[in-house]
């Protein structure tokens, strides 16, 4: 019996599910990659086969996301959270400040880090709505001497998304797309920089991808930035100044090949719409479940919902796990339930969840 027949549906916010076919390929060549007699993770990063892999990875990333030539694609080791400091350290000079749209937990933490290290202010703050909606753009304030504007299009903890691309009046826009990069086609030209941790839609945990416009790189002048936090280091050395997280790079390459073979980002996007719409439909049609995020701001990727009979939450989670529907517990900061619907979550997983939700509502009505 195939190991995959018992595969669980992992609805956790990340590290997340990866596509079965990608995992099967990685397993098959785990001991012998590229006929080299060793695993890809045992191969030196400056050998020809690995350098080729990095070049192909970069090319494929550019192709899948249609990234113009005046943007750099950088592969950084470590967690995306390092960017919360790295962005202000690279892009803010002494007389400048950065504007933050604080629309959930992650953007608020990015704002706190930037404020501590440099000068930053809130363009808008969704905290007064308890992150259930985002204030009207007419109320947003962009101050003079703003070097960049920062936002998080999808907030995994709060289950809220920014439904528009903010119009930033020519100020470079930086987006934390950790949870949404590769889930839909983008017009890269709308952004000065995009970054994303790998562990949702790109690869396994331990890598961050950054897409940075050349004119932002050219602005960096501070000579006290730690070398490993200086984007110029990654540009000059094509992400190979230090040893990159080689297995994550390999897995990212397999993931991109998988996206292409499935039909590209427009297919990822329509699947995501189908999955999230089906789930919100059940929630909205029900007297048992509810979502308190205002409709235009509901995340497609992290569907947060609650039980009206709050006391049944643990029972709901236990029953779900027994059916292989894993990690549906909401983030500890907000409670409730959360179904994360990254690219690798198949529609069958969502159908199984919906079936369970109907069943659980019926027996507990």
Give residues in contact with its own copies (CB under 8 A). Answer: 3-4, 6-8, 10, 12-18, 23-24, 26-27, 30-32, 36-39, 41-47, 76-82, 84-86, 89, 113, 116-117, 197, 199, 204-207, 223-224, 226-229, 241-248, 324, 326-327, 332
Task: Of 69, 126, 75, 84, give the one whose Cα is nearest residue 250.
Answer: 75
Minimum gap (Å) between residue 291 Cβ and its own copies: 22
Tokens 């950088």, located at residue: 74
Active-site pick, 33, 97, 118, 176? 176
Task: Provide the 3-class DSSP secondary structure of residue 294.
Answer: coil
For 37, other C-beta atoms within 10 Å of its C-beta total 9
Residue (95 or 169) nearer to its own copies, CB? 95
Residue (36 or 142) nearer to its own copies, CB? 36
Residue (30 or 290) nearer to its own copies, CB? 30
Q: Is 33 a catalytic residue?
A: no
Minimum gap (Å) between residue 70 Cβ and its own copies: 27
Q: Is 258 a catalytic residue?
A: no
Angle between helices 83-91 and 105-117 (to 10 degrees): 40
Active-site pick, 118, 200, 275, 306? 200
Minimum gap (Å) between residue 109 Cβ and its own copies: 9
Minimum gap (Å) between residue 305 Cβ and its own copies: 19
Q: Measure Cα distances from 162 to 135, 180, 202, 349 in Å.
A: 10, 11, 21, 26
Q: Is the distance from CB of 141 to CB of 130 less than 8 angstroms?
A: no
Residue (112 or 315) nearer to its own copies, CB? 112
Minimum gap (Å) between residue 322 Cβ and its own copies: 12
Torsion angle (degrees, nearest 10) of CA 229, 257, 354, 131:
20
302-307 and 173-176 as β-strands: parallel, antiparallel, unpaired? Answer: unpaired
Q: Is 106 a catalytic residue?
A: yes
Active-site pick, 97, 106, 119, 329? 106
Residue (322 or 363) nearer to its own copies, CB? 322
For 328, other C-beta atoms within 10 Å of its C-beta total 24
Task: Of 91, 269, 81, give the one whose Cα is nearest residue 174.
Answer: 91
Active site residues: 106, 176, 200
């Amino acid at each position: 019996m195939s190991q995959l027949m018992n595969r669980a549906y992992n609805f956790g916010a990340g590290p997340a599910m990866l596509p079965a076919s990608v995992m099967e390929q990685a397993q098959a060549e785990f001991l012998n990659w590229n006929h080299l007699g060793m695993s890809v993770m045992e191969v030196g990063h400056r050998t020809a086969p690995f350098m080729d892999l990095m070049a192909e990875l970069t090319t494929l990333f550019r192709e899948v996301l249609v990234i113009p030539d005046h943007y750099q694609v950088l592969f950084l080791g470590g967690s995306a959270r390092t960017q919360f400091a790295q962005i202000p350290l690279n892009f803010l000079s002494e007389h400048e400040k950065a504007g933050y749209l604080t629309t959930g937990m992650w953007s608020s933490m990015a704002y706190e880090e930037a404020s501590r290290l440099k000068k930053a202010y809130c363009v808008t703050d969704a905290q007064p709505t308890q992150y259930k909606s985002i204030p009207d753009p007419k109320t947003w304030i962009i101050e003079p001497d703003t070097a960049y504007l920062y936002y998080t299009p999808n907030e995994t903890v709060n289950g809220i998304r920014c439904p528009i691309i903010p119009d930033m009046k020519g100020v470079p826009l930086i987006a934390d797309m950790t949870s949404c990069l590769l889930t839909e086609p983008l017009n890269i030209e709308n952004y000065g920089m995009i970054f994303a941790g790998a562990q949702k839609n790109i690869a396994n945990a331990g890598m961050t991808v950054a897409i940075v416009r050349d004119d932002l790189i050219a602005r960096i002048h501070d000579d006290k930035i730690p070398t490993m936090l200086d984007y110029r280091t990654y540009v000059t050395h094509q992400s190979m100044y230090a040893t990159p997280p080689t297995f994550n790079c390999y897995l990212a390459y397999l993931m991109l090949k998988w996206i292409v073979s499935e039909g590209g980002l427009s297919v990822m996007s329509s699947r995501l719409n189908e999955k999230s719409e089906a789930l919100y439909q059940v929630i909205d049609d029900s007297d048992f479940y509810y979502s308190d995020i205002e409709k235009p701001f509901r995340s497609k990727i992290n569907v947060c919902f609650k039980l009206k009979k709050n006391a049944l939450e643990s029972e709901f989670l236990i029953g779900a796990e027994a059916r292989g529907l894993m990690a549906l517990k909401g983030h500890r900061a907000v409670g409730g339930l959360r179904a994360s619907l990254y690219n690798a979550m198949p529609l069958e997983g969502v159908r199984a969840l919906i079936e369970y939700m109907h069943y659980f509502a019926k027996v507990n009505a």
